[in-house]
């Protein structure tokens, strides 16, 4: 049987940071897995070491996220909490929210529908 691959595997991970109202907003784009997660982790560590202790991770541009990505977010939350900070998420995608629900992490992270909602919370 021949299977045509539906798309090229993408190794690109976008990690763009903006600042608003005292929050660092990290917009993640692409697939977060064991190969790309180290870059995501490094970016979060870098933000915390630069003094950003209120971080909003925008997952709306994420096409795929597995437990490695969850682990990065758990590690990020631990880091900001050690500075009395916060790490919140923006996510409306059903397939991404599902992994948070299954693992119980919806009880750990504050998850919002938009960046504006998160900043107003």
**Residue 47: Cβ within 10 Å count:** 22
| Residue in 68, 30, 22, 25 with CA at minimum distance from that of residue 43 | 25
Interface residue with another protein, options 20, 42, 46, 78 (CB under 8 A): 78
Smaller CB separation from another protein, 96 or 115: 96
Q: Is residue 7 at the binding interface for another protein, with CB under 8 A as the rule?
A: yes
Does the footprint of another protein cover residue 84 (CB under 8 A)?
no
Nearer to another protein, 79 or 115 (CB): 79
Name 33's Cβ contacts closer than 8 Å, sequence gap at least 6.
64, 65, 66, 68, 69
Q: Which residues are at the interface with another protein (CB under 8 A)?
A: 1, 3-7, 9-11, 31, 33-35, 64, 66-68, 70-72, 74-75, 77-78, 81, 94-95, 98-99, 102-105, 107-108
């Amino acid at each position: 049987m021949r299977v045509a691959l539906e798309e090229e595997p993408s190794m690109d991970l976008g990690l763009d940071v903006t600042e608003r109202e005292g929050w660092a907003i990290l917009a993640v784009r692409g697939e977060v897995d064991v190969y790309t997660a180290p870059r995501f982790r490094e970016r979060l560590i870098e933000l915390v070491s630069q003094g950003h202790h209120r971080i909003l991770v925008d997952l709306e541009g994420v096409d795929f996220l597995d437990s490695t990505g969850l682990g990065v977010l758990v590690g990020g939350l631990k880091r900001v909490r050690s500075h009395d900070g916060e790490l919140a998420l923006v996510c409306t995608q059903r397939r991404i929210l599902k992994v948070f629900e299954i693992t119980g992490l919806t009880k750990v992270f504050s998850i919002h529908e938009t960046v504006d909602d998160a900043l107003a919370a």
